[in-house]
Structure 1
Amino acid sequence: MTRLIQPGAEFRQLFHEFEHTVYRLETRNDYDASYEQDSFQRYLAGDPDDMPWMQSWLDLLRDAASHGRRFTRVRIVTVPLTDYSRFGVWCARLMNEAGEDIRYVTRDVAVAEELPTHDYWLFDSRKLVRMHFDDSNHFLGGEVIEDDAEIVQHNYWRDAAWHHAIERDDFAAQQGI
């Protein structure tokens, strides 16, 4: 049985309900999130930006970290990086400083390790939300998957991705960001 969650308040609530850990696997080289477009354009132009769209996320990360709750993320990226992926690596330093541990796996390693090609969130290793996007990389919503075998498989993928992942600062240095 699955249940769909639309972007917005119901989806955001998931990040306030978990007890211990949240994990995200990102598999796309580009995402179309309208709220970050101004910052992305400023990044490309080399202009300073305080990234107002990210502040509520950073607050959430700091609050979770202060209560011993952990956010982790692995991004699968194609090298050479797209402009958007470079922007993501740049942004990740702020997220890491706020308490989220973001790491990177190159696409060739992900393929060799048979990691999935879809994005997902895993809450407390037991609630799986598979992300859905349209052909333009715009987020459509999440599918809550309750099948135990599928949840176990996604936990395995989390562990395999984490094993091969490179810490953000080391990856940024490798990529010259």
Structure 2
Amino acid sequence: MAEGSDRPSKSKAAVPTPAEVRRAYREELEPQDRSVLWSWLGFSVTFGAVRAITYSIRQGGTRFHNLSVGGVHFHHYMWGIGMVSAVGALAVAGCERKRRHPLTGVVYGSGLALIVDEFALLLDLKDVYWAKQGRLSVDLGVGMVALGGTALSSRAILSRLARDRGLTRRRPSTG
């Protein structure tokens, strides 16, 4: 970008390449920040997928179905509790490399999404899972929190990519 210009240089494409994203990820995020990003990504993707799957089950005519054994329905919060417990065990007894591994963050975020999605059942509020009152607002609220957390935790990467493309405005020098 030319000095004083607000327009990006024509030498860089508007969309970063995968290699540029990887480089920004490695150079801009510390291991702890990477774990946070992967946790938010895991939460966001899992929550969205679970909502889509459960809505399709409710509509019928889909290959997805509830998991039941002997007439007992296995709610997905049970899987979430298992996943979060596994990450907790890793945090207590695992080595630093395993604790900071991206998969650990994904498992934690995904497990938490499975729990949050059925939180009303954990509070023994009966099966209000599909009550019209507030279901859409809860879905949208949690979805917005998930996307917001993902965006905030990836801010350093996005800023770096914008800087590399000359998309950030430079302040005029005062001296």
The two structures have a TM-score, normalised by structure 1, of 0.26
Q: Which has the higher helix share?
A: 2
Q: Which has the higher strand share?
A: 1
Relative contact order, CA 8 A, sep 6+: which one is greater? 2
Q: Which has the larger radius of gyration?
A: 2
